[in-house]
Homo-oligomer: A and B are copies of this chain.
Amino acid sequence: MKATIVTIGDEILIGQIVDTNSGFIAKSLDKIGVEINEMISISDDKKHILDTFAALQNKVDLVIITGGLGPTKDDVTKKTFCDYFEDELVIDEVVEKHVIELIERVMKRTASQINKDQALVPSKCTVLHNQVGTAPGMWMKKENTVFISLPGVPYEMKYLVENEIIPKVVREYKRPYIIHKTILTYGQGESLVAERIEDWENNLPAFIKLAYLPAPGRVRLRLSARGIDKEKLEAALEENVNSLDAIIHDIIVGFDDDETIEVVVGKMLLKQNKTISTAESCTGGKIASILTSVSGASGYFKGSVVSYATAAKIDVLGVSKNLINEYSVVSKEVVSEMALNVKKMMKTDYAIATTGNAGPSKGDSNVEIGTVFIALATPDRIIVEEFNFGQPREKVIDRAVIKSLELLQKEILKNVR
């Protein structure tokens, strides 16, 4: 079973917004064995939409379309659906009632005509009821292809995918199995990892595909097995993951697809019953923010002091003024003090501290732009590292965040492996 995801909207084509909807839909369909063969972003133009529909007709089983369903004039999807299916728009009374109620309850006003027009749907379509917004989803079949239209607002799209589309596809279609296994490695680059596992890779069976997904400091290896015999696929995947683990055991830190470093670190801290806090200058609270994005973070994360201004480092974090005068705010000495002090203030086992100059201009220190000091206070010692992450600002901050979490992870790993 094959699907194509189509995103409609000029705002994507001029780069004003990034399309995150397609990724969510792909992941959801992939889990139930639907293969995504393409993702396409096109303009809000009727002819362009019609040409795209025609090109996909009978080439794939499912076409999932997001965007172009809002109440305003730049949204043309519904009218184009009518043209393509030779249909006309009619009011769906269930949707109309829902829209009127939702506007009254949430917006505390009467629904306008523009709101009510959201209930207009092609007469032949199966309506996918959107409980979290006003624009309904639509499911229409022509010959061998089903066309599904969804609103572009991410949480409305997600609601309809999870509650309407996935259950309907699972009920109505037979699909092959696709199983993925992701191996997360840290500390070695893509080409070095590739060299180490070359023989293993050459011996993979044909139904298992390997992909390298590099990111700063880490490489994800993804194995994908596709076939009809689920047990055979699972056994082969397990066997190959085990033989891989024997080769690069030293750099493997996790196996779950969703195991980002913040999730891995969180699990380890919980398991070891340890707590953490942060004192952040150049990272501006981003380490705390990423740690707390994980549900259950309150089990190990206590808090953070974002001491952005030099005064905050002195007044709130209690860093000595003399130390700052002697070594500058961006120094090994100051970052150590920040980590030790926040660890004491927040009463935690570990503490991370950052100070640096993310640019583009120089701040309260004379160090080169891109310079970052990271300190990790552990229950019994303090580790400090110096980096230069270059430019731009965004990259410096992101690299400092990742490096901090890596330092922490490496240190906690010592207690388990």
> What residues make up the interface of A, taking CB atoms closer than 8 Å to B?
9-20, 22-28, 30, 36-44, 48, 70-74, 107, 112, 114-115, 153, 155, 180, 182, 189-192, 194-195, 201, 209-214, 220, 222, 224, 257, 277-278, 280, 283-289, 291-293, 295-298, 301-309, 311-312, 315-316, 345-347, 358-361, 363-364, 393-395, 397
Contact = CB atoms under 8 A, between A and B. Distances in A.
B293 A297 contact: no
B39 A13 contact: yes
A22 B20 CA distance: 12
Given A114-B191, A222-B16, A345 B316 contact: yes
A358 B289 CA distance: 13
Nearest to A347: B311
Contacts of A195: 112, 114
How many copies, total? 2
A213 B16 contact: yes
A15 B10 contact: no
Contacts of A18: 18-20, 23
A308 B315 contact: no
A179 B365 CA distance: 40
A394 B26 contact: no
A55 to B, nearest CB: 9
Contact of A24 (B15, B224, B295): B15
A30 B36 CA distance: 28
Contacts of A11: 211, 213, 222
B291 A284 contact: yes
A73 B209 CA distance: 11
A211 B292 contact: no
Nearest to A392: B155
Contact of A40 (B39, B153, B395): B39
B42 A38 contact: yes
B37 A40 contact: no
Contact of A194 (B73, B285, B393): B73
Contacts of A153: 214
B312 A303 contact: yes
Given A14-B27, A19-B39, A303-B306, 15 more contacts: A10-B222, A13-B38, A15-B27, A16-B27, A16-B182, A44-B211, A72-B190, A74-B209, A74-B210, A285-B288, A286-B292, A293-B393, A296-B361, A301-B308, A316-B345
A67 B68 CA distance: 29
B28 A15 contact: yes
Contacts of A312: 277, 302-303, 346
B30 A12 contact: no
10 contacts: A11-B211, A15-B26, A16-B182, A37-B42, A72-B194, A74-B209, A298-B309, A303-B316, A304-B304, A304-B308
Contacts of A40: 38-41
A343 B309 CA distance: 14
B30 A23 contact: no
Contacts of A213: 11, 16-17
Contacts of A288: 284-285, 289, 306, 308
A73 B66 CA distance: 34
